[in-house]
A and B are shown apart, each in its own frame.
Chain A
Amino acid sequence: MKPDTTTMLRLENVSRSYSGRQVLQNISFSVNAGEFVAVVGPSGCGKTTLLRLLGGHETHDTGTLERCAHTRTIYQQGGLLPWKTALENVAMGLLHIEKSNGKRITLANEMLGSVGMDGYQESYPHQLSGGMRQRVELARALVSGSEILLMDEPFSALDFLTRLKMRSELIRLLKDKEQTVIFVTHDVEEAAQLATRIILLTRRPAAIACEITLPEMERPRSLSHPVVIDTAEKMLNVLGMHV
């Protein structure tokens, strides 16, 4: 069965095991163009494995996985190449997209400017703060114009205030783009602030516990907004963590 024109990703009964231990169990969902889907689950449940399957870095054992566009991933551990400057890292995102090296540099420069990294073009990743590195990584992912953005707990290593700032920045950068985002996180509030839809996974072997569609409104939603508070509470209840 071919996915329809607006479906960017479709999984049907996807399972994955490592050495006989099942990690993902019958995962089925689809993601439409422009959706911001947060995948939430307890630590170690298999969220990163799911993201690797979606990115084509691993293969699933059973089920069907269809992908309608190229993906770009933003990694939890930081996927910038440490031997390249911020500008070179972003320009790498255009390597097989834009043939002219000069044009690649120009576009990478513009993208760095739009993520607020003007003046840091020649800095190496180890010379930047965690938040700055994530901005550069975001720039590399966005500069390619890739339609599907996979984000693996991208802000989890940042301090709370930087994390809040990065959430706003992310939504601002995605505003005028038809970008589809799969955002893996274990932070229920983060998911409720950013997502248009949330897929909640159970403990390992991960299966879908529930799906929550959030009302359309300005994002990122305020942490004190009733929608965020109610959604976070609902997720914690489903996960069996009453607060």
Chain B
Amino acid sequence: MLPDKNSAQTAWKNCIPPVLVFLAALGAWQILMSQHVLPPSMFPTPRQVAKGFGEEMHSGRLYTDIIASLWRVVVGFTLSVLVALPAGIALGQSSLLRSAFMPALNFLRCLSPLAWIGFAILWFGVGDNSAIFLIFLSLVFPIALSVSTAVLSIPPLYYRVAKELGLSQWEKLNQVILPAIMPGLITTLRVAMGVGWLVVVAAEMTAGNSGLGFAIYDDRNALRQDLLVVHMIVIGIIGLLLDRMLAGIASMPSVQWGYQQTNL
């Protein structure tokens, strides 16, 4: 039982520095406001934000906005992974496919997803589908590129081992290629989830009628700076939680080999 106690103690110790930083930031914010360094017309006080948070919780709007945004990100993210993963593996394995598709992939990767907003509204209307489409577009190309690079960097030694063990194509994919790219893939997915979360806010502000991005747009129009900060904090916290969730996958023993030099 001793190791459990030790790991609990370590977890607590790791929590202390970020909590101290949060409290210090909160204190600094309060001091700046009370000393009128930041005028109340330009920025809300912590108390106003806390009050606004209570108001949003009480009305239930915060929950529905969180659920709407999360739904769009999760669907857009999942669709992009479902398309990009096999595409990236195929690109990584075939020089012919790479020479044919890489220029197009890099071209599309460089286009801001926001440039597609006009088409998104035209094709899908204002709402869920437009935002999902924009998230999909923003993630599918970078993930495919990253997966193809990861497949290309698999040491040839593993393919020789697979051949010697007589693995079929399916077994090679399942037992060699996918596990070999997994550490890199997890990092890619963490970055992609962060980008998806950024894009959903922008998409909802311009092509949405609900969600946290739309709430920010609404707060701005209503000049509710307190709610603006509430929604910004909620977006940041959810982004952090999503990242931690994906980082949790990286602690699985079967992918730890890929993080020996990395501090997660």
Decide yes or no whether B254 CB sits under 8 A from chain A: yes
Known: A75-B157, A81-B179. A93 touches B257 (CB 8 A): no
Out of B164, B167, B182, B254, which one reaches A71, CB within 8 Å?
B164
Contact A126 B160 (CB under 8 A): no
Establish whether residues A126 and B165, one from each chain, have CB atoms under 8 Å apart when the complex forms.
no
**Does B256 sit within 8 A of A, measured CB to CB?**
yes
Report A-chain residues with C-beta under 8 Å of the C-beta of B182: 83
* Identity of the chain B residue whose Cβ is nearest the Cβ of A77 in the assembled complex: B157
Contact indicator B166/A81 (Cβ below 8 Å): no
Closest B-chain residue to A146, C-beta based?
A: B164
Residue pair A93, B179 in contact (C-beta under 8 Å):
no
Measured in the bound complex, the distance between the Cα atoms of B166 and A71 in whole Å is: 11
- Is residue B124 contacting chain A, with contact meaning CB distance below 8 A? no
Contact A79 B157 (CB under 8 A): yes
Known: A79-B157, A79-B160, A81-B158. A92 touches B165 (CB 8 A): yes
Looking at chain A's contact residues, is the secondary structure mostly helix, strand, loop, or mixed? loop
CB-CB < 8 A to B171: which residues of A? 95
User: What chain A residues lie within 8 Å of B257 (beta carbons)?
Assistant: 82-83, 124-126
Residues of B within 8 A of A71 (CB): 164
Once A95-B166, A95-B167 are accepted as A-B contacts, the answer to whether A124 and B160 lie under 8 Å apart by CB is: no
Q: Mark A94-121, 1 if CB is under 8 A from B, else 0.
A: 0110000000000000000000000000
Q: By the criterion CB–CB under 8 Å, are A57 and B166 in contact?
A: no
A75 to B162, CA, bound (A): 13
B180 within 8 A of A: yes
* Residues of chain A within 8 A of B157, CB atoms compared: 75, 77, 79
Residue among A83, A92, A125 having the largest count of chain B Cβ atoms under 10 Å: A83
- Given A57-B160, A81-B176, A81-B179, check contact A93 B256 (CB 8 Å): no
Q: Could you say which residues of chain A place their CB within 8 Å of the CB of B180? A: 83
Residue of B164, B167, B176 most packed against chain A (CB within 10 A): B164
Chain B 166-201 against A: per-residue CB contact (8 Å), 1 yes, 0 no? Answer: 110001000110011010000000000000000000
Closest to A83 in B: B179
Q: Which of A81, A124, A125 contacts B161 (CB 8 A)?
A: A81
B255 / chain A contacts, CB cutoff of 8 Å: 83
Taken together as a complex, chains A and B put the C-alpha atoms of A92 and B182 apart, in Å, by: 19
Q: Is the interface of B mostly helix, strand, loop or mixed?
A: helix
Task: Let me know if A96 and B166 touch, CB within 8 A.
Answer: yes
In the complex, whether A73 has a CB less than 8 A from a CB of chain B is yes
**What separation, in Å, do the CA atoms of A55 and B164 have in the docked complex?**
8
B230-264: contact bitstring with A at CB < 8 Å (1 yes, 0 no)?
Answer: 00000000000000000000000111111010000
Chain B residues near A81 (CB-CB < 8 A): 158, 161, 175-176, 179
A93 / chain B contacts, CB cutoff of 8 Å: 165
Does A135 belong to the interface (CB within 8 Å)? no
Contact B256 A124 (CB under 8 A): yes
> Taking the complex as formed, is B220 at the interface, i.e. its CB lies under 8 A from any CB of chain A?
no
Q: Are B164 and A124 in contact (CB under 8 A)?
A: no
Across-interface contacts of B164 in A (CB, < 8 A): 55, 57, 71-73
Assuming the A-B contacts A81-B176, A83-B182, A83-B255, are A126 and B260 also in contact, with contact meaning beta carbons closer than 8 angstroms in the complex?
yes
Residues of A within 8 A of B167 (CB): 95
Q: Which of A170-205 contact B (CB under 8 A)?
A: none
A92 → chain B, closest Cβ, in Å?
6
A123 (CB) vs chain B CBs: closest residue: B253
B165 to A95, Cβ gap below 8 A? Answer: yes
Chain B contacts of A124 at CB under 8 A? 253-254, 256-257
- Asked if B51 is at the interface of the complex by the 8 Å CB criterion, the answer is no
Taking A96-B166, A126-B260 as given, write out 18 further A-B residue pairs in contact, using a Cβ cutoff of 8 Å, ordered by the A residue number: A52-B160, A55-B160, A57-B164, A72-B164, A73-B160, A73-B161, A75-B157, A75-B161, A79-B157, A81-B161, A81-B175, A83-B179, A83-B182, A83-B257, A84-B179, A95-B165, A124-B257, A126-B257
Question: Can you list 21 contacts pairing A with B, beta carbon distance less than 8 Å?
Answer: A56-B163, A57-B164, A73-B160, A73-B161, A73-B164, A75-B161, A77-B157, A83-B179, A83-B180, A83-B182, A83-B254, A83-B255, A84-B254, A92-B175, A93-B165, A95-B167, A95-B171, A96-B165, A124-B253, A124-B256, A125-B257
